[in-house]
Structure 1
């Protein structure tokens, strides 16, 4: 499978009592499809998957699939604290019609690189669907080292890596490696123009919850070699993205959803809500 374009890791709408807001989730999914994104990631970090019960997880995956299947590429986040759990989540999502997975190394356990390799190879053996590795050491405490990426890229079921380390020197090394049937996906919302300039073809963008149209337009501009337009779009959306990347990312992704035009509720604990002052400061970007 080739990944090309903008893929949005969906926020999860909650009601005032923090229960799932399924009807708003349906509206949100259709809105992103209408904005021209290439795919959706359900149960990703931006979606607060770690707060879900198993029943809620199935509800979210099912709801997204019912609206989006056959219209855009469906990717399921299958992170779990154990490799066995990730295998189980892969099989559940595959049964619901998902076409690919996104998977980070297990958080908290701090596996060495041999453990990281075994983790991915075990999950890859449990499914025939492509896996996008997710390198975000600030989140999980473990980096997928360059040599590990090169090794795992040879596995036919491991199709790419979402590079979210923030270290563009590392990203550039990956982008200049002669991989076969393996893609380096932009995972840094403040670096997409750089990634696309060096040949990346996709961006899994939490900020896509906020700026889906702009990010689709930015991607299209880069594919047409219109770098002036790409820079112009990035300059316009950068202040809000910089604020998101500077802290309280999930809270701001929800508050600014579709440029602050749709209410998807607040976050669940252990994330805390923004203060009134913080909300007003962020909302200035959309006024």
Structure 2
């Protein structure tokens, strides 16, 4: 069962040198995430290079991960399709293969109207029994799931949560004021995570967690325990790294960080290319400086 709270990584997809799936590397990262205290895992999100992996590969990752974690955490499949038909097909495929939930984006490659956006989510929800997290990211995807849209969507029982990525933290309070606890709220922007949790977000659907799972989880558990200043201290150290998530090359940035922390490699599928030149050096400088000053963490899982 997905509780839609805590730290839920939108994990990267690991590739071998020939760019086939690297299941061993994927499982190695997943092991580190589970040991750090995550509360779920999203497969094939934007950070997971959704646009370059096939539905078949998604199901391979789903089945391998379900087998590997053996019920320790829920496994969620991302849906980012261009047609309603394909979105329904993937939702049903995920359900048939044992997914615990779905993260659903608005239509890709078409800026839908509010009515079209509403019907898109309603139709997908009606065609699966799985619980759904609505990904609301108008900054990157140019479609906002407004509160009025959510007014209709909450009538679908299996629409359970929102990945709040509007970059406007006051939206958390608006959601709470309008819907109470009907919708779980997960922060989807790494650089706003601590603020969002203090404002009432239920958790953090995170990116840099792929390379730094313990630091990410420590912030969440410290906030939950009321030890906010300790969380702030870690968060301030973390911020230069977290800013790598709000960047068009977030996949390359985070995969390079994973390589440095021993939790992955930087192989990406075209049209992406590994970081090069001055930008590569800039990111390396951030990672290396952060590793040199990496904070000692309290025993946050014992709080």
2:41 is the alignment partner of 1:40: yes
Q: CA RMSD in A?
A: 1.8
CA distance in 1, matches of 2:259, 2:168: 28
**Long gaps (5+) in structure 2:** 293-303
Q: What is the TM-score normalised by the length of structure 2?
A: 0.89
Give 5+ residue unaligned stretches, structure 1. none
Output aligned runs, 1:58-137, within 5 Å.
58-137=59-138
Inter-CA distance 196–119: structure 2 relative to 1 (3 Å threshold)? same
Shift of 1:258: 7.4
* 1:192 match: 193
* Count of equivalent residues: 287
CA shift for structure 1 position 132:
0.3
Distance in 1 of aligned mates of 2:109 and 2:118: 16
Structure 1, 132-141 or 254-263: larger mean CA deviation: 254-263
Could you tell which deviates more after superposition, 9-18 or 242-251?
Answer: 242-251
> Please, what TM-score do these two structures have when normalized by structure 1?
0.93
Cα distance between partner residues in 1 of 2:18 and 2:130? 36
CA contact (8 A) 2:9 2:40 kept: yes
Distance 1:235 1:177 in 2: 32
Q: Secondary structure at the match of 1:133?
A: strand
Which residue of 2 is the match for residue 24 of structure 1?
25
User: For the structure 1 residues 35 and 276, does the alpha-carbon distance in structure 2 shift closer, same or farther, using more than 3 Å as the test?
Assistant: farther
Match of 2:211 in 1: 210
Equivalent residue number for residue 143 of structure 1: 144
1:247–1:211 Cα change, 3 Å: same
1:154, distance to aligned residue in structure 2 (A): 2.9
- Matched with 2:297 is none
**Match of residue 161 from structure 2:** 160
Structure 1 pair 141/77, CA: closer, same or farther in 2 (3 Å)?
A: same
8 Å CA contact retained: 1:40, 1:73: yes
Say whether the 8 Å CA contact 1:153–1:179 is kept in structure 2: no
CA–CA separation in structure 2 for the residues paired with 1:55 and 1:112: 31
Residue 84 of structure 1: CA displacement?
Answer: 1.5
| CA offsets 1:192-248 (integer angstroms, 9 cap, x no match) | 111111111111101211221111111111111111111111111111112332441
Question: How many Å separate the matches in 1 of 2:220 and 2:65?
Answer: 24
C-alpha distance in structure 2 between counterparts of 1:146 and 1:258, whole Å: 40
**2:191·2:239 contact (CA, 8 Å) conserved in 1?**
yes
Given the superposition, is the C-alpha separation of residues 71 and 259 from structure 1 closer, same or farther in structure 2, using an over 3 Å criterion?
farther
Structure 1 runs, 4 residues or longer, greater than 6 Å off: none
User: What whole-Å deviation, never above 9, does each CA across 1:50-88 have from its counterpart, x for those lacking one?
Assistant: 101333222222222221240111111122111121111
User: Deviation per CA, 1:114-143, whole angstroms, max 9, x where unpaired?
Assistant: 111111111111111110000112332211
SS in 2 for 1:14: coil
